[in-house]
Structure 1
Amino acid sequence: MFTVIGATGHVGREAVRLLLERGQEVAAVSRSDRPSAVLPDGAHAVCGDPSRPASLASALPDRIEALLLGPRPVGTAGAELLSLAAERGAKRVVALSALTVEQPVGHPRFIEEFRAFEDVVRASGLPWTVLRCADFAANSLAWAPQIRASGAVHGAYAAAATSPVHPRDIAEVAVRALTGPGHTGQALALTGPRSLDQRDKVRIIGETIDRELAFHEVDPEQVRRTMLAQGLPADVSERLLGSLADYAKTPGRTYDTVERILGRPALGYALWASENAAAFTGTGGQ
């Protein structure tokens, strides 16, 4: 059985759906109290904490075909979880990482966290593939409350430019790597098809929902204070603002990896925005 850790996240849900469409059995692991509410029919929902693998042992499949995981749900328990998967016959592991490992931006300690996670995966003894992802298009959902309320986004570093990647592209590449050995031992850089700065993204969302939107650049310290006042951990603001500051100086690279592997162009930001338009209009959505 294929096992997806973090199965209710943006990439995890897509990976579960794609595996099921291919007729595979899937164990979908999530901390969510009601994972079945957001998972496709047919998935075997496993509710538990991946950062404590021993607590999941009895709920995980007796035979694991392959494992998809990322550092956020696993925390520091990657080695223990991968050891458990190996004991249950896993043929390979696919790990989600960040493009900052090969294009360093932001605070070094966050980059080192991803490097350390990749090292754990490589040391597991399992055949591995690492997916180094650009920023997710879905990160823009954080703007939805501002857009719904005022038609504007107030943020730092308007010129910060990346090639945001659609979660479905990440999931499709992950499923290719999970179900066959063709990408074993590779670290694959995944981005969207073109570079966009923050104003570009807001403009595209506005075109999608037929509303004139604006990006108002504000001082980074003001953004930091706002995030802290909203109850977000300090490392979240440090990670975001550090990366944006560097991307404003040097845009993130655009890679053709998705097109080479999937045989079609990478999905664009406009498509993602249209699929999630309801989140920005207040008529439903994510």
Structure 2
Amino acid sequence: MRILVTGATGTVGRHVTDQLLTAGAEVRALTRNPETAALPSTVELHRGDLDSPTAEMFEGVDRMYLLAIGEPTLVTDLAKQAGVQRIVTLTSAAEDETYQATERAVENSGLEWTHVRPGMFAANLLDWAEDIKTTKVVKEPYPNARQTPIHEQDIAAVAATALLFDGHNGQTYTLSGPESLTKKEQAEAIGDAIGLQIGFQELTADEWRATSGVPDFVADWLLDIWHQATENPEPVLSTVEDVLGRPARTVREWAADHVGDFR
């Protein structure tokens, strides 16, 4: 079985690739820069991207892990013509037209499909790494925003399971981590994992915006998410355990896997 992994060098895609290889699948990785991909030597590297799909990308491929980017209808048409039989998408629990367009194109293709919709990536907490290294204090607004961060390896495991095994056709898997934590509690969980006491300094929205370094539209989006999570905590979902038969990893477990990023 040959599986095409798009976004194979990304936060989730690398783990999807590793898990597929461990299961004995042949993996073709789509990447813009094969020279810098740093993927296992057993991976077949294919230069390209989803913004300019070609028929060659999909030749000999049985199943595909598809990021929600590019021209989804063109991608699915080319994949179907090449004989791809199953597509597992990585979209998002957040409502977004790009994600929805990808899901619609895959559903309309007539191929087997599964949608994987993660919520907040625990990997987003790497944005705190520099402050933790230098001051041991996280500085952000909305300390009581309650979220459910999910380990990127759990996202990858659900996607790999849907790619490898039957019984997931037509399913939409919305994913969360196993615990609801305020931002302050997330910082404390990281501290527990790396053996440091991490403080949390609350900033106003304007103070954070002035120092964040992110574009205004990104700042607006994040501030809205955090405000919403303060008033309406993100729910804890059992999907990871339902699919994998084991609990999702906690923030503390995620941080233990990333000690080097915070020390």
- Give yes or no for contact 1:66–1:92 (8 Å, CA) kept in 2: yes
Superposed CA offset, 1:229-266 (max 9, x none): x3x34332232222111011111011111111111111
Match of 1:254 in 2: 236
Secondary structure at 2:94 match in 1: helix
* Partner Cα distance (1:221, 1:123) in 2: 44
* Partner Cα distance (1:41, 1:241) in 2: 42
Q: CA deviation at 1:125?
A: 2.4
State the superposition RMSD in angstroms. 1.7
Identity of aligned residues (%): 35
1:89 aligns with 2:79: no
Match of 2:16 in 1: 15
* Partner Cα distance (2:103, 2:210) in 1: 32
- Per the normalisation by structure 2, the TM-score is 0.93
* Partner Cα distance (1:61, 1:44) in 2: 12
Q: CA deviation at 1:120?
A: 2.4
1:245–1:173 distance in 2 versus 1, CA, 3 Å: same
- Give yes or no for contact 1:27–1:61 (8 Å, CA) kept in 2: no
* Partner Cα distance (2:31, 2:223) in 1: 28
* Partner Cα distance (2:137, 2:110) in 1: 49
Q: CA deviation at 1:214?
A: 1.1
- Give yes or no for contact 2:9–2:37 (8 Å, CA) kept in 1: no
Match of 2:28 in 1: 27
Secondary structure at 1:188 match in 2: strand
Q: CA deviation at 1:82?
A: 1.6
* Partner Cα distance (2:114, 2:63) in 1: 11
Q: CA deviation at 1:61?
A: 4.5
1:44 counterpart letter in structure 2: E
- Give yes or no for contact 2:121–2:149 (8 Å, CA) kept in 1: yes
Secondary structure at 2:139 match in 1: strand
Q: How many pairs align? A: 262
The residue correspondences of 1:1-286 to structure 2 (distance < 5 A) are 1-32=2-33, 34-37=35-38, 39-54=39-54, 57-58=55-56, 60-71=57-68, 74-75=69-70, 77-101=71-95, 111-227=96-212, 230=213, 232-281=214-263
* Partner Cα distance (2:58, 2:87) in 1: 15
